[in-house]
Every structure is written in structure tokens, then in C-alpha cells.
């Protein structure tokens, strides 16, 4: 499927510029550049994306699980443009802003019980970093500075920043280690991970399937005295 708007781009020079100047975040560079060439996406509508050559794709991942209402939503673009004309930035270190207050109010109406105050940030990794910092600070302020350990589930993904990657079990120790101190992994309940572990797949990670305290390296007595938080994102089969 081709698209006129996409065709109006000069795909050759654009892809050359991309190859020369854009650093793709994590995919293997040779796979992208040599086998296939860099794919430059130029437009989206609903769940369809078009690249600079006019090829259409189904956006099965909804961006990275975040474009759930689809691409090309005019009303969202207009609201963003309107906000940009009102206020470009306000530091959340000491202030808040009208849009943040309105969003927090909506979220408070949706979330259960007394879960009604929101730490707004720019993405998932930053949210995880912030959650770990909050958990540690709470323990320090309660007088328990040694409760800094974090328990995460094997197979979970928490992001690409250093702290978030430290609690992601598929972290690449060789390239990015050493990671944050005080992290323990416990087994995932996901059956496919269990099967892979049984089949001897190292991707399922060492220590998987251990019992009791061996899973975290802490015994039952130590656990409450050492742990700041438990990160339990839904595990993916990584
Ligand atoms: C469960 C979970 N946590 C954290 C992240 C990291 O989010 P971001 O890519 O916005 O930093 C992701 C991203 O896929 C995620 O799925």
C-alpha cells in the first residue's frame, strides 16, 4: 500500500541522512543498516504507519504500547498545540501547572482507594527510577536507611536507564555492568519462562526456581529489614 503524502518525501536522501546522523537506540546497527536500510516512518493514521518510501505497516505494538488511541488524532494534536502556546515549561521541582492538575484530578477519579496523588514524569524508565527513589527515601525518613534493597521478578522489563535496567533480568552485564547494588530477582510465575529454564536456556537466568530465601539471597528474617520495594511489573518473556 503506498501513500501520496509519504511519496512526496525524497526517500533516498532522507534515509541517507538517517544513516549518517541518527543513532538507533538498541537494535543491532548492522542488522538495520546493512540488511534492510534504516526505515524512516513519516506518517500514521489509526493503526497504520507509512514509511518514506510509501510502504504501509500495521502498528501492532501501538508505538511501544503507548499510542493506544491511534496515530493522527487531530483533537490530540490541537490540544498539544494549544498547550504549547499557553506555557512551554514549568519546573516540577517546585511548581505544577494547570494541565498537570487537571490530569491528576482525572487519574484520582479512576484509581482505587486513597491512591490519589500522582508523580507525573516523562516515561516508563523515569517512573521506575522515581518509584525506587521514593521507596528508598521513605525508608530512610522512617529511620531505616538499610532498607534499600529492591526485589524484582525475573523476566520483567523495567526500562533502559541505569536503575531501571538494573532491575530488568535480561540486562546486559557485559556491556553495561556493574549494575545498581542491592537488587534481587525472584522467579516469574510465567510458565514459558519456567519451561525455558528447565530446557536449560540461560536467557531465563541463573537462580531461577530456587526456594524460599535462596531466591533473593535474604532469609525471611532479613527480608523486612532490608527491602525498600518490590517491583512487580507484568513479566514479559524476555
Ligand atoms: C513495564 C514497563 N516498565 C517500564 C518501561 C520503560 O518505559 P520507557 O520506554 O517509557 O522508558 C516499559 C517499556 O516498555 C515497560 O513495558
Strand order of the sheet with strand 227-231?
A: 183-186, 149-153, 227-231
Testing ligand 1's pocket by substitution, the residue of 158, 166, 168, 169 carrying the most ligand atoms inside 8 A of its CB is 158
Do the domain assignments include residue 237? no
Cis peptide bond prior to 178, omega within 30° of 0: yes
65 pLDDT above the threshold of 60: yes
Q: How far apart are CA 26 and CA 97, in angstroms?
A: 34
Q: How far apart are CA 238 and CA 230, in angstroms?
A: 19
Range of the domain at 105: 74-110
195 pLDDT above the threshold of 80: no
Q: Residues 158-169: pLDDT tens digits? A: 999 999 999 998
Do the domain assignments include residue 115? no
Judge if the beta carbon of residue 123 lies within 6 A of ligand 1: yes
Judge if the beta carbon of residue 159 lies within 6 A of ligand 1: yes
β partners of residue 219: none
Instruction: Calculate ∠ Cα 220-221-225, nearest 5°.
Output: 110
Instruction: Report yes or no: 72 and 48 within 8 Å, Cβ to Cβ.
Output: no
Do the domain assignments include residue 157? yes
Q: Which of residues 2 and 208 earns the better pLDDT score?
A: 2
* Together in a domain, 137 and 222: yes
* Together in a domain, 148 and 106: no
Averaged over 103-115, what is the pLDDT? Answer: 97
Q: Can you give the pLDDT at residue 199?
A: 64
Averaged over 208-236, what is the pLDDT? Answer: 61
**Whose Cα sits closest to atom 15 in ligand 1?**
158
CA 176, chain centre distance (Å): 17
Q: Residues 119-146: pLDDT tens digits? A: 999 999 999 999 999 999 999 999 999 9
Q: Can you give the pLDDT at residue 206?
A: 36
Averaged over 79-86, what is the pLDDT? Answer: 96
* Together in a domain, 20 and 101: no
Amino acid at each position: 500500500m503506498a501513500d501520496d503524502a509519504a511519496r512526496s518525501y525524497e526517500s533516498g536522501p532522507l534515509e541517507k541522512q538517517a544513516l549518517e546522523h541518527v543513532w538507533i537506540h538498541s537494535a543491532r546497527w548492522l542488522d538495520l543498516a546493512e540488511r534492510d536500510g534504516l526505515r524512516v516512518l513519516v506518517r500514521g493514521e489509526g493503526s497504520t504507519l507509512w514509511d518514506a518510501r510509501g510502504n504501509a505497516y500495521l502498528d501492532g505494538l501501538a508505538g511501544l504500547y503507548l499510542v493506544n488511541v491511534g496515530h493522527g488524532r487531530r483533537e490530540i494534536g490541537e490540544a498539544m498545540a494549544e498547550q504549547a502556546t499557553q506555557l512551554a515549561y514549568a519546573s516540577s521541582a517546585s511548581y505544577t501547572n494547570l494541565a498537570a492538575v487537571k490530569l491528576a484530578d482525572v487519574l484520582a477519579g479512576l484509581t482505587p482507594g486513597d491512591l490519589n496523588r500522582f508523580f507525573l514524569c516523562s516515561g516508563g524508565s523515569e517512573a521506575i527510577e522515581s518509584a525506587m527513589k521514593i521507596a528508598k527515601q521513605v525508608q530512610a525518613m522512617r529511620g531505616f536507611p538499610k532498607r534499600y534493597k529492591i526485589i524484582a521478578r525475573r523476566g520483567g522489563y523495567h526500562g533502559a536507564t541505569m536503575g531501571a535496567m538494573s532491575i530488568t533480568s535480561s540486562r546486559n552485564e557485559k556491556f553495561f555492568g556493574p549494575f545498581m547494588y542491592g537488587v534481587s530477582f525472584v522467579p516469574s510465575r510465567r510458565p514459558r519462562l519456567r519451561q525455558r529454564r528447565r530446557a536449560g536456556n540461560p536467557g531465563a537466568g541463573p537462580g531461577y526456581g530456587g526456594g524460599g530465601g535462596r531466591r533473593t539471597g535474604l532469609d525471611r528474617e532479613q527480608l523486612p529489614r532490608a527491602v525498600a520495594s518490590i517491583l512487580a511489573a507484568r513479566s514479559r518473556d524476555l
